[in-house]
Amino acid sequence: MPYLWPAVLGLLVTGWFVLDGFVLGVGITSPWLARDVRERRWARTAVGPFVLGSEMWLIASAGVLAFALPHLESVLSGCYPLVVALLACWILRDAALWLGRRSTRSASWRRWDLVWAAASMGVAYCAGALVGALAHGIPHGAPAYATLFGPVAVLSGLAMVALLALHGAVVVRLRVPAPACERAAAALPRLGQVAAVLAAATVVAGLIDPGVRGALSPAALVGVAGPVAALLVPGRNAAGHPGRAFALGAVAVAAPALAVGIGLVATVAGTSGSGGLAAVVLGAVPVMLAYQALLWWLFRRPVTRRATVFF
Amino acid sequence: MSAVDLARIQFALTANVHFLFVVVTLGLAPLIAVMQTRYVLTGRDVHKTMTRFFGQIYVVNYGLGIVTGLVMEFQFGLNWTGVSQVAGQVFGAPLALETLIAFFAEATFLGMWIFGWDRLPKAVHLAFIYLVTLTAYASAYFIMVANGFLQHPVGAALHGGTARITDVGALLTNPNAIGAVAHIVPAALFIGGVVVAGISAWHLRRRTGHDDLFVRSLRLGVLVGVVAAFWTFAMGYAQFDYLDKNQPLKAGLLHELDHTVKTVGPPPPDWIGVPFTVMQTIGEVSFYIGLLLLPFLIRRWIVPRRLILRAMTWFVPVPFVAVVCGWLVREIGRQPWVIYGVLKTPDAVSGVGATQVAFSLAVFGAVVVGLAVTDWLVLARLARRGPARVTLGATLAEQEERDGLPDGRPATQPLPAAQES
């Protein structure tokens, strides 16, 4: 029972990395995989239905944090600059999606597409850096700049950009019409290598950092699954199994947060949620999963000329 | 400026901007559900076009509601951890319910509604907008339960400095929360009606060529607006029933109390009487003027009345002023308490320094205000562009044809499927 709410939080945060992760990844890779405004509208249409439903996972995480783990809210104030930066980039990413095709002038479209790519990279970097910062333990009190901008956090941020780019590229391969999907398939080997190297470097940096070694239990080594999965993604796609490539990409992007969460679980456990409402909140989780599954099923097909647009 | 002042300014700014978009979301959603219901029942194009046109306004507005809401969700953990320390579980409970139950569903079903046009059976597509509307109002309820707890802490008891929920029913039926919801719901519908009527009036006056559509939507907007205006101020006044007892210092600044007040601490600033009067005046005057508009809804009597149409369009920003005034009364009126009678505002702020808060205020202030202004300009442009070329509900093929495809490729060129590569 003491691990219940940390587990729920872990599920929500991991879900966000996997689901908003591919939306972010498509944004990150859009300048290279979708070369003009027409192709980028295809990319926007490919991720469109999932944008709202995916970003909810992180918003719900904040809700669970407030309700069941209020003493952990120091995670937010203790990583203040990174959280503010993440929120600002997230806001700009959403604005780029919502407002990016409202004008009739293509110059405006190009500008918003740039914002989409840059803001997506910003969210990815800040999310990764936060995971890296939390690897030093739950902060208490004022932000420690040495942790937030130290080598583990920075490497973790860069690795997350690469991991989400890889994850997003698989989705471009699966859902966006040619030539974008062909470019994505061609880019996967390089993206897989870069992501794997950066993720491995982050793991190594964490292993040699005394702060991280002191804060995380050895169970955090499951994070090694991240770079390994990233390396395997291009191979699965080339062998004609893009669905499995997507699953491996999901493992790769989920691994960092899961590793740090598992490594810290001893320090965050032992809280109690308030009984009755806790049951209601928990009961909502399977319902949420059900209508999310409905969303994915409704929009499972790749983009065609008959797809409905908005973003 | 101290961290407290900066944190308060940030909260006031972001919460007000957030609500300016949320109130339109709450007000428009039911109207769009009505429009779409008429389409599904009659099959007539005028209703479908009306749904898509106002639906697009709703969706573009919704985006900024989300964007400002992100700041709201995380702001508590960033700047106000004092609240979490004292009453985290109690205050966090309705917030968690809001995100996990109401908002999660709203966001998912809205995504299905936006992208499911003509791809889903009509009844299913209609059901989704009803679900979106329902969950939006559920969200509003849960948020007001959270705010209501701060204003009038019930259903919880302090044990050694932290509050625990002792009575979930009391928390969820807090008269402060229920009374506020009963006031906000009609206020939102009032704004929804005013927005629809104002946009319709512009098109009728400019003779943009969609008279049939806009006469119908104007009628809907005015009818809903007038009835809602009445309930807004009626439910507003009804709140004094409990405010006189539970927040007498606030109530005393707004109207005459029939009992003497023993002070619960320092009183709130006495200028809240001014926004209260502004809000009250706007509410009541809107209703009375709205009554005078009713005869013009008969047939097409409104169409040649260009002065009235112009006034209706110019009136659109006015209820938004009332809404901001309302929040000022509600939130400033409970100062210096964050949790009334329990936790004072300066004690609720996180331990972060003023520089951090100044940084966050600068960033969020600039981004939120900048995007809000951009969104309003886009909304105005979309409203003027009219129902002829609405993106909401269009297919990729239709939209690319309209775009003219700047790279010169012919619009009829089919897209190679993703799986073939």
Q: Which of A8, A37, A51, A59 would best serve as a mutation to test chain B binding (most B beta carbons within 10 A)?
A: A59
Residue type, B19: F
Q: pLDDT of B320-379, one tens digit each?
A: 999 999 999 999 999 999 999 889 999 999 888 899 999 999 999 999 999 999 999 999
Residues 6+ apart with CB under 8 A from B395: A305, A306, A307, A308, A309, B118
CA distance A292 to A55: 12
Is the pLDDT assigned to residue B24 strictly greater than 70?
yes
Chain B environment of A65 (Cβ under 8 Å):
77, 92
pLDDT in tens, B37-66: 999 999 999 999 999 999 999 999 999 999
pLDDT one-digit tens code per residue, B239-254: 999 999 889 899 989 9
Question: A107 at the B interface (CB within 8 A)?
Answer: no
Binned at pLDDT 50, 70 and 90, residue B416 comes out as low
Q: Above 50 in pLDDT, residue B420?
A: no
DSSP structure string for B189-242:
HHHHHHHHHHHHHHHHHHT-S-HHHHHHHHHHHHHHHHHHHHHHHHHHHHTHHH
Rounded to an integer, the average pLDDT of A23-35 is 97
Give the Cα separation of A46 and A57 in Å (integer).
19
CB-CB neighbors (< 8 A) of B376 in chain A = none
Per-residue model confidence (pLDDT) at position A275: 66
Strand pairing class (B162-165; B156-159): antiparallel
List the one residue out of A119, A136, A24 whose CA is nearest residue A79. A136
Kind of pairing between the strands at B343-344 and B156-159: unpaired
Band of pLDDT at residue A269, cut at 50, 70 and 90: confident
Most B CBs within 10 A among A11, A26, A37, A56, hence the mutation to make, goes to: A56
| Interchain CB distance below 8 Å, B417 and A73 | no
**Considering only A23-32, A166-175, A217-226, B198-207, which range has the smallest mean pLDDT?**
A217-226
**Is residue B164 classed as helix, strand or coil in its secondary structure?**
strand
Percent of chain B with pLDDT over 70: 95
CB-based contact, B161 to chain A, within 8 Å: no
Task: Specify the pTM.
Answer: 0.95
Decide if pLDDT at A196 tops 90.
yes
* Res. B281 pLDDT band, cuts 50 70 90: very high
- Quick one: closest CA in B to A67, which residue? B92
| Residue B175 pLDDT | 96
Mean pLDDT of the region A149-157: 96
Mutate one of A42, A84, A138 to test the B interface: name it (highest B CB count within 10 A). Answer: A84
**How big is the CA angle at A286 (ends A281 and A291), to the nearest 5 degrees?**
115
Burial of B278 (C-beta count, 10 Å sphere; 0-12/13-18/19+): middle
pLDDT value at A270 more than 80: no
pLDDT of residue A71: 78
Q: Label residue A272 by pLDDT band (50, 70, 90).
A: low
Q: Name the residue of chain B whose CA is nearest to A273's CA.
A: B89
Which B residues 11-70 touch A at CB under 8 Å?
A: 59-60, 63-64, 66-67, 69-70
State how far the Cα of B407 lies from the Cα of B404, in Å rounded to an integer.
Answer: 9
pLDDT of residue A271: 57
Q: What are phi and psi for residue B339, nearest 5 degrees?
A: -110, 115
Query: Strands B337-339 and B343-344, how do they pair?
Result: antiparallel
Asked whether the CA dihedral B371, B372, B378, B379 is positive or negative, the reply is positive
> In angstroms, how far is the first alpha carbon of chain A from the final one?
43
**Contact between B203 and B50 (Cβ < 8 Å):** no
Q: Is the ipTM of this complex over 0.90?
A: yes
Condensed to tens digits (0 to 9), the pLDDT of residues A283-298 reads 888 999 999 999 999 9
Share of chain A above pLDDT 70, in %: 98
- Whole-angstrom distance, CA of residue A191 vs CA of residue A171: 13
Beta bridge partners of B198: none
Alpha carbon B184 to its chain's center: 9
- The residues facing B261 across adjacent strands are none
* Contact residues on chain A for B416, CB-CB shorter than 8 A: 177-179
CA A215 to chain centre: 23
Q: Show the tokens assigned to B140.
A: 């509003």
Strands B162-165 and B337-339: unpaired
Comparing A68-72, B105-109, B217-221, B325-329, the range with the smallest average pLDDT is: A68-72
Residue B84 in contact with partner chain A when CB distance is under 8 A: yes
Contacts of B351 in chain A (CB under 8 A): 77, 141-142
CA B310 centroid distance within chain: 25
Q: Report the alpha-carbon distance of residue B274 to residue B85 in Å, rounded.
A: 34
Summarize pLDDT for A96-130 with one digit per residue, the tens.
999 999 998 889 999 999 999 999 999 999 999 99
Per-residue pLDDT tens over the stretch B250-271: 998 999 887 777 766 788 998 9
pLDDT reading at B415 higher than 70: no
> pLDDT digit string (tens) for B150-179?
999 999 998 888 888 899 899 999 999 999
Residue B407 has pLDDT above 60, yes or no: no
Tokens of B212: 């049939």
Alpha carbons B146 and B228: distance in angstroms, whole number: 25
Q: Are A56 and B108 an interchain contact pair (Cβ–Cβ within 8 Å)?
A: yes
Among B74, B352, B389, most A C-beta atoms within 10 A, so best to mutate, is B74
In the block, tokens 């932290």 appear at B162
Q: Which of A118-122, A304-308, B107-111 is predicted least confidently?
A: A304-308
- Name every chain A residue with its beta carbon within 8 A of the beta carbon of B164: 274
Confidence of residue B406 (pLDDT cuts 50, 70, 90): low
Per the listing, tokens 């390994």 go with A228
Cis? peptide before A227, omega within 30° of 0:
no
CA–CA distance, B353 with A88 (Å, rounded to integer)? 20
DSSP 8-class letter at B100: I
**For residue B371, what pLDDT is reported?**
96
Kindly state the tokens that stand for A278.
């806790």
Assign A311 a pLDDT band (cuts: 50, 70, 90). Answer: very high
